[in-house]
Structures are given as C-alpha cells and as structure tokens.
Amino acid sequence: MGVDEKIKALEDEIRNTKRHKGTEHHIGLLLAKVARFKRERVDRAIKKSSISGGGFDIRKEGDATVVMVGFPSVGKSTLITKLTNAKSKIAAYEFTTLECIPGILEYGGASIQILDLPGIIAGAQVGKGRGKEILSVARKADLILILLEPLNPWQYDVITKELREVGIRLEGHPPRISVKKGIKGGIRIHSAVKLTRLTPQAIISVLNEYGFHNGDITFGDNYTTDDLIDALEANRVYSKALVVVNKVDLTGGIPPGFPTGAVGISADRGAGIEEVKKAIYEKLGFMKVYTKPRTGEIKWNEPMIMKTGSTIEAMCRKLPKAFLKDFKYALIWGKSAKFQGQRVGLDHVLQDGDVIFIVKR
Ligand SMILES: Nc1nc2c(ncn2[C@@H]2O[C@H](COP(=O)(O)OP(=O)(O)OP(=O)(O)O)[C@@H](O)[C@H]2O)c(=O)[nH]1
Ligand SMILES: [Mg+2]
C-alpha cells in the first residue's frame, strides 16, 4: 500500500469509529499515525522539489518572504508585476505560470521577497497539478498571501485545507504543551486547566506512538488530540496570512462570504496596490534597530529594518561579513536589555528601538 492509501484507510477508520471515552485513545493513535504518514509525504515532496529543482528551488532573500497562493487565473502574476520588478507571464488561460518566480518589494525600508507560483487546485497535497512543489515553497513563507476572486469565495476553504494538510498553520501559535522525557516511571500528566477534550489514555497512546513512554507532559490549556499531535510533530510551520480579493472591478467591491480583513483590489487596473503593500508590511511586523558606531553619534535617521523577533545574529548577517565572523559579544541599550549596556551573545532577541554595539575579536 502506498502512503496515500494508508492515510485514506486510517482516515476512513477514524470516521467510522464512534467517539466516546472508551475509543478516544484508539482515535488518538490513528490520528498520530495519519500525522506521521503525512509528514513522510511532505518530507518526500520537499526533497524532490529541491533536488530536481524544476524552478521551485528558490533561495530566501531580503528581510522576509511572502508566498502567493491562489487558484489558476486569479491574477497572481498580474499582482506580482504591480508589487515588484518581477516579470511573470500573464494570460487569460489557466496554468500560465509553471514555476516559482521571485520579485522584491521595497517598502518602509524593508526588502520583502515575493514569490509567484502556479495555480493551486484541490488535491494539491496529494500531488494534483504542481501541488506538492507549491506547498513545499509555501512552507518557507513568513506570510502567505491568499489571492481569491470575488465570484468564488469557496476557494478560501480549499486553500486553507491544503495548507493545513502539509503542516502549515495560519495565524496560529504552537500549542503550549511541553514534554520532558524520563527514563522510568511512566507518564505523568500536568495541566494548568481541567482537560475536558483529552483523556489520559488518549494522551498516553499518542505519546507512545511518538516514542515517549516515560516522563512529564504539561498542558498550558484545554487542548485537543490534534493540538497534542501539532506539539509533537516537528514539521509544523506557523505562518501569517493575508487574504486579498482580486478583480473587484467585476463586482464593485468584496461580496459577502469572504474572511473579514480581506483587502479588495483590481490588480490589472492598479487599484488597491498601495493597500496591499501596506498590509504586507504591517502583517509581517518589522522593527527598527540602531548600531552604535565606535566614534560619533548614533544615526537615528538610518535605522536597520528587521523582522520582529530577530536576533543579533540576523542583524550581523545584514552587516559586512566580518561582524559575524569576528563577533565576540554585543552591548545593548533599549527594551530588550535587562539593564542598559548589557553584554549579550548572537542569540539575543532584539526589540524595536534597541541600540547595539558589536565588539569584534
Ligand atoms: N477583470 C480583471 N481581470 C484581471 C485582473 N487582474 C488580472 N486579470 C486577468 O486575469 C487573467 C489571469 O491573470 P494572471 O495574472 O495570469 O493569473 P494567475 O493567477 O497568475 O494565473 P496562473 O499563472 O495560470 O495560475 C488575465 O487575463 C488577467 O488579465 C483584475 O483586476 N480584473
Ligand atoms: Mg501566473
């Protein structure tokens, strides 16, 4: 049996099993098995798309990467040519774009990489169209721009489902579940709140499936089996999302049925492009940090634009090579410093407005 059939058989069994306290641990086990097979399928697709290249092996560039995902002919290529300097073929037929086309959007001092891709269709995760390649590129995104058309609001659900299947969690955070492996004594379950959606048997059978037989597990909330699997699966990525509805010239605005916060545009008429740029920049979340020169004043009018949550290491990568190669330590002033002038290392996480002085060897 191939992986796809194995997944299908397990999912059929899950659907056909009556859910009650006595079957919870069995369902948990089946869900964990499904997760493992899906992970194998994604790993294989990632390997294939980067080995064979085939126009999908794009290097991340700039301060952040945005991946455009949408059905064929919704106007992805039209939009990237309005946002960046990229040249991507535009045509009235479906599957015009056949590979990954990169472009750079300069906005608010940040350099944002945008990737145009072929259209996605239902069944992408099992390999329909160039689905697997598209979804493995999407996993690299800091932000996924979901492009829709006004007459087909259902496309949104199909796209989010395909993304979910390959381990991409939109607008989410990793569940607050921590596991500490022990050597003996079985599994001890701790929780900050009462667990009403998970039985101890279900927790233990899922943990066993992931090779944990002894130790402590701590829940920060009333989580489900799926949350537990998300916490244990190494392949989950948490990406921001922006929904854009193109071709609103056809309807005179966004019709009902679209997610709130969607931005309406008409890419080929150039309407709403500034709003999309602004929304991308704000969703990604950037901060300004400053380097303190050896002599002279800090240049407050020349900030370095970094993604929120960046480390000193990420900052050094934007400076001449020697800063990373000969890095000894850094001194730091601002919100991220425990005390002003604190000495920190490469993994120190910066905050907006920080001032950094790097000491080289
Ligand atoms: N009415 C209208 N048509 C548009 C708009 N933007 C793009 N189009 C048209 O939609 C068609 C498809 O545009 P593309 O940019 O090639 O679409 P795509 O999503 O890149 O398509 P694939 O690469 O095949 O997935 C073209 O005929 C465009 O001219 C718009 O704002 N309004
Ligand atoms: Mg295209």
Q: What is the mean pLDDT of the chain?
A: 91
Q: How far apart are CA 104 and CA 84, in angstroms?
A: 5
Task: Give the alpha-carbon dihedral of 162, 310, 233, 224, to 10 degrees.
Answer: -80
Specify the 3-state DSSP secondary structure of 129. Answer: coil
Atom of ligand 1 nearest to the CA of 93: 24
Q: What is the pLDDT of residues 204-224, one digit of tens each?
A: 999 999 999 999 999 999 999
Which pLDDT does position 128 carry in this prediction?
79
Task: Give the pLDDT mean for 289-301.
Answer: 91
157 C-beta neighbours (distance < 10 Å), count = 10
- Sorting pLDDT into bands at 50, 70 and 90, what band is 325? very high
- Sorting pLDDT into bands at 50, 70 and 90, what band is 93? confident
State whether the beta carbon of 92 lies less than 6 angstroms from ligand 1.
yes
Q: Where are the domains of the chain?
A: 3-49+175-232, 53-172+236-284, 286-360
Which pLDDT does position 347 carry in this prediction?
95
Q: What is the pLDDT of residues 63-91, one digit of tens each?
A: 899 999 999 999 999 999 999 999 988 98
Span of 116-130, 278-292, 298-312, 325-339 with lowest mean pLDDT: 116-130
State whether the beta carbon of 131 lies less than 6 angstroms from ligand 1.
no
Q: Are 216 and 188 in contact (CB under 8 A)?
A: yes
Residue 235, pLDDT > 90, answer no
Which pLDDT does position 219 carry in this prediction?
96
User: So what's the architecture of 286-360 in CATH?
Assistant: Roll (3.10)
Nearest CA to ligand 1 atom 12: 73
Atom of ligand 1 nearest to the CA of 269: 31
Vertex 258: Cα angle to 63 and 145 (nearest 5): 15
Residue 42, pLDDT > 90, answer no
The one-letter amino acid at 24 = E
Pairing of strands 304-307, 342-344: unpaired
Ligand number nearest to the C-alpha of 81? 1
Q: Which helix (H) or strand (E) holds 123?
A: none
Which pLDDT does position 50 carry in this prediction?
59
The one-letter amino acid at 284 = L
Ligand number nearest to the C-alpha of 95? 1
List alpha helices for the chain, DSSP H. 3-16, 24-51, 76-83, 131-138, 155-165, 200-209, 225-232, 273-284, 312-317, 322-325
Longest dimension (CA), the chain: 72
Residue 333, pLDDT > 80, answer yes
Residue 337, pLDDT > 60, answer yes
- Sorting pLDDT into bands at 50, 70 and 90, what band is 123? confident
User: Both ends of the chain: CA-CA distance in Å?
Assistant: 58
Q: How far apart are CA 169 and CA 160, in angstroms?
A: 9
CA 132, 133, 137, 143 torsion-angle sign = negative
How many helices (H) and strands (E) are present in the chain, helices listed first?
10, 15
Ligand number nearest to the C-alpha of 134? 1
Which pLDDT does position 261 carry in this prediction?
92
Question: How many A from CA of 119 to the centre of ligand 2?
Answer: 7
State whether the beta carbon of 118 lies less than 6 angstroms from ligand 1.
yes
Which pLDDT does position 221 carry in this prediction?
95
Q: Which helix (H) or strand (E) holds 344?
A: strand 342-344
User: So what's the architecture of 53-172+236-284 in CATH?
Assistant: 3-Layer(aba) Sandwich (3.40)
Atom of ligand 1 nearest to the CA of 89: 16
Token pair belonging to 90: 């535009």
**How far out from the chain centre does Cα 242 lie?**
12
Which pLDDT does position 12 carry in this prediction?
92
Q: How far apart are CA 225 and CA 195, in angstroms?
A: 11
Please provide the DSSP assignment of 222-261 as one string: ---HHHHHHHH-TT-EEEEEEEEE--GGGTTSPPTTSPTT
Please choose from 68, 79, 80, 90 the residue to mutate so as to test ligand 1's pocket, defined by most ligand atoms within 8 A of CB. 90
Which pLDDT does position 116 carry in this prediction?
93
Burial class (CB in 10 A: 0-12, 13-18, 19+), 79: buried
Task: Give the pLDDT mean for 267-279.
Answer: 97
Which pLDDT does position 358 carry in this prediction?
94
- Sorting pLDDT into bands at 50, 70 and 90, what band is 39? confident
